Amino acid sequence: MAEQQASARADRQVPIVWLHGAGMDRTVWMLAARDPDLPSVPSLALDLPGHGRSTAPGCDSIGAYARFVMGVLDETGIEAACLVGHSMGALVALELALRQPERCAGLVLAGAAARMPVNPALIEAAEHDLPKAARMVATFAIAPAGRLAAPATPGVRLAGGGMALLAASRPGVLARDLRACDAARPEPVPLHMPALVVTGARDRMTPAARGAELAAALGAGLVRIEGAGHMMMLERPAAFAAAVVPFLTGLQSSSRAR
């Protein structure tokens, strides 16, 4: 269910919990959650129910996923964590932060918007033809440069691997996830915790302008990654790290100062 990485080094640490998007699993964080410049604190990359190695059935709402994450925090004894969410995972993180702010010490929302409407044709494909759905997502989720350029790691095309995850997801999971995103109606209000919104300049699924609106409503910081699409942490891993590592490091410093 979860992958624990670094051990504690100091008091008042803020653990990091990584939440993947619709139809994905924890492996989308293969680089981001292992960046050598991250603060050395407990770090959990979760497989949400129905995804990856999780044996639990999938959820049909963002609220249900948020309750699952809350259960993980309870089970692992984490009083408050920094939640890093991508796409659907960002909606889950935002839901938890808005409903249970005492359990959220910080928030990073990547590829996020307050509203994430989903094309009915994509939901239909996700229900009946996963390879087609994966191709449709690739068209909108990955910027052209991410589809054509040589990968940062020779022999490993990370963004393409993300689409392969969709095509191999369990029957019905991607469709349920997309419906959950389409139905989500969070009411963004100024947060009483540090928060950062990260957008891809070429994101066609959650356009950068919608991410900027979310950041303004939440009173959050905003970083725009040029040349990146929706799968920014796989398309532009170095730029993504440059966006989130300073925020996560600063969060630990401010926590220790309190």
Q: Percentage of the chain with pLDDT > 70?
A: 87
CATH T-level fold of 16-257: Rossmann fold (3.40.50)
Whole-angstrom CA distances from 83 to 72, 78, 117, 209 are 12, 12, 23, 22
Mean pLDDT of 90-99: 97
Helix (H, G, I), strand (E, B) or coil at 13: coil
Mean pLDDT of 92-120: 96
User: Does residue 94 or residue 163 have the better pLDDT?
Assistant: 94
Helices 130-141 and 158-167, interaxial angle, to 10°? 150
Q: Domain limits of the chain?
A: 16-257
The pTM (predicted TM-score) of the whole model is 0.89
241-256, pLDDT tens digit by residue? 999 999 999 998 776 6
The torsion angles phi and psi of 253, rounded to 5 degrees, stand at -65, -45
